[in-house]
Amino acid sequence: MSLTKTHMLVRSLSTSTAAAQLVKPPVQVFGLEGRYASALYSAGSKNKCLDAVEKELSSFQQNMKTDAKLKEFLINPTLKRNLKAEALKHVTSKISLSPATGNLLCLMAENGRLDKLDAVINAFKIMMAAHRGEVTCEVVTAKPLDAGQKQNLEAALKKFLKGNETLQLTAKVDPSLMGGMVVSIGDKYVDMSVASKVKKYTELISTAV
């Protein structure tokens, strides 16, 4: 997307007279969802409603997961874009969503991009976490970590943080790893699983044969 189109997207989402001037998010997310989320972040910054937008979108995302009719309405390709936009405009007005949130929903409806709404919301959450100085970390292990292991791991991971950052750790279990762990922290990714080592050694043996 060109800079001109990005400015247009920001202007569409913002109610500010200075909408054309971009406010860059603290972290870049690529793809279509990243462009919409970045424009929303810029608009929310100018209108001083970032926290409200995040809360509203999180609630809307949860409703998408629990309300089958809402999800069907959003992803149904047979419904005309203008009808979706008008319906969402009515909904946002009825439940008093902030202008930035309402503009996002209506704009994505008009552009036929509502199927990407969940991804856009997730991208915006990543930006907001960075905005608060939170560094997300996901640790995947073959077996659940006990309290002591988790505490030691958190202490080790915090050494990667800067002074104003906080760690948001999520632990998941994947038995296929066989042992070890896979760690993703910020934009860093380290695979220390037994499964990856077995795969590596297998490939080396296959190449040598």
Model confidence over 48-92: pLDDT tens digits? 999 999 999 999 999 999 999 998 999 898 999 999 999 999 888
Structure confidence at residue 38 (pLDDT)? 93
Pair (81, 158) in one structural domain: no
CATH of the domain at 191: 3.40.30
CATH of the domain at 47: 1.10.520.20
Pair (165, 84) in one structural domain: no
Q: Are 54 and 61 in contact (CB under 8 A)?
A: no
Rounded CA separation 88/73 (Å): 10
Of the listed ranges 40-54, 101-115, 188-202, the least confidently predicted one is 188-202
Pair (114, 155) in one structural domain: no
Strand order from edge to edge, sheet including 134-141: 166-173, 134-141, 181-185, 188-191
Rounded CA separation 29/31 (Å): 7
Pair (113, 36) in one structural domain: yes
Domain end marker among 74, 103, 130: 130
DSSP class per residue in 95-119:
TT--HHHHHHHHHHHHTT-GGGHHH
Rounded CA separation 29/35 (Å): 8
No. of helices (H) and no. of strands (E), the chain: 9, 4
Structure confidence at residue 60 (pLDDT)? 93
Pair (110, 164) in one structural domain: no
Domain end marker among 130, 161, 190: 130
Pair (122, 184) in one structural domain: no
Domain end marker among 115, 130, 145: 130
The mean pLDDT value of the chain amounts to: 85
Structure confidence at residue 62 (pLDDT)? 94
- Is the pTM above the cut of 0.85? no
Model confidence over 87-113: pLDDT tens digits? 999 888 888 889 999 999 999 999 999
**Residue predicted with more confidence, 20 or 86:** 86
Range of the domain at 178: 133-208
Pair (121, 181) in one structural domain: no
**Residues with Cβ < 8 Å from 29, sequence gap 6 or more?**
37, 38, 123, 126, 127
Pair (71, 125) in one structural domain: yes
Pair (53, 108) in one structural domain: yes
Structure confidence at residue 209 (pLDDT)? 53
Pair (111, 47) in one structural domain: yes
Looking at residues 197-207, what average pLDDT do you find? 75
Pair (100, 197) in one structural domain: no
**Residues with Cβ < 8 Å from 147, sequence gap 6 or more?**
none
Q: Are 11 and 20 in contact (CB under 8 A)?
A: yes
Pair (29, 69) in one structural domain: yes
Looking at residues 132-148, what average pLDDT do you find? 89
For the chain, how many structural domains are there in total? 2
